[in-house]
Amino acid sequence: MKSILISFLGILLTTSAVLAQTQLTTNDFQNKLNATKQAQLLDVRTPEEYSQGHLEKAENIDYRNAAFKDQVEKLDKNKPVFVYCLSGGRSGQAAKILHEKGFTDVYDMQGGYLKWTSSGKLIDAPKDAAASNKGMSAPDFKKLTRSGKLVMVDFYAPWCAPCIKMLPTVHKLAEEYKSKATIEAIHYDQNKALAKELGIDEIPAFLFYKNGKLILRKNGLMEEADFKKLIEENL
């Protein structure tokens, strides 16, 4: 009987933890946020990311700041918390911390700010934010991908751990295949307008082109052998 009771309590605690950290798609997140009175909206990206644009009325508390746990203690534990980051990694960890701190109603946005902006949802951003993030123009990108050779484009960012892990491999392959293919690494933060136009809502993102046509799109961590297989199959 005692073991049954312990098992039941374990299931109950696990279930309440899941309920306390609800992951929502961007549409469900938006609908739930709009329908919730006294909602606390939390942006856990860096102040620099936040300054370039954020959800309206979002409070910025940087997840990577050493004072994060102390700062979230100032929020009201009796009110729902809606949390997001750029792509979902940091917000997921932040949601766990909020639950551990005693917050009982936490909503985490899947895909984060990338998904939100790529779907055309409204943001609060400075007027010069778009201009400062123009980067490569659409005509220049089309020129890059117009080649009859295979073109692989890697959208990466310095804050993206898988991106940084793969970047040396991408540079190595660019040299190794330079006579057969063009391999280009494009900084996401400096090319947000282009990324949005291309529908990139998750990084790392690898786009493969031939004669100006997109023939393949891959996301996530890949090993050198995986890259080579894809390149060789599409040369």
pLDDT, mean of residues 194-215: 91
Q: What is the pLDDT of residue 57?
A: 92
Determine contact, residues 154/186, Cβ cutoff 8 Å.
yes
Architecture of the domain defined by 2-130: 3-Layer(aba) Sandwich (3.40)
Every domain of the chain and the residues it spans: 2-130, 138-234
Smallest Cα–Cα separation from 150: which of 209, 110, 201? 209
Mean pLDDT of 80-92: 92
To 10 degrees, what angle do helices 224-234 and 161-176 make?
A: 50
Buried b (16+ CB within 10 A) or exposed e, 98-132: bbeeebebbbbbbbbbbbbbbeeeeeeeeeeeeee
pLDDT tops 90 at residue 69: yes
Strand partners, 60: 43
Q: Which has the higher per-residue pLDDT, 78 or 48? A: 78
Any idea which residue has 């117009």 for tokens? 146
Q: What helix, strand, coil percent values describe the chain, rounded to 5?
A: 45, 20, 35
Over residues 12-41, mean pLDDT: 78
Is the distance from CB of 83 to CB of 42 less than 8 angstroms?
A: yes
Res 11: pLDDT: 43
Quote the CA–CA distance of 48 and 32 in Å, as a whole number: 27
Give the model's pLDDT for residue 118. Answer: 72
> Average pLDDT of the chain?
85
- Between residues 206 and 147, which one has the greater pLDDT? 206
For position 106, what pLDDT does the model report?
96
Per-residue pLDDT at 12 exceeds 60: no
State the average pLDDT over residues 41-54: 90
Cα–Cα distance measured from residue 113 to residue 143, given in angstroms and rounded to the nearest whole number: 29
The pLDDT of 113-140, averaged and rounded, is 71
Predicted local confidence at residue 66, as pLDDT: 95
Structure confidence by residue, pLDDT tens digits, 136-177 = 888 999 999 998 899 999 998 887 888 888 999 999 999 999
Q: Which CATH class is domain 138-234?
A: alpha beta
Share of the chain above pLDDT 90, in %: 60
Please tell me the predicted confidence (pLDDT) of residue 51.
Answer: 86
- The catalytic residues are 160, 163
Reported pTM: 0.61
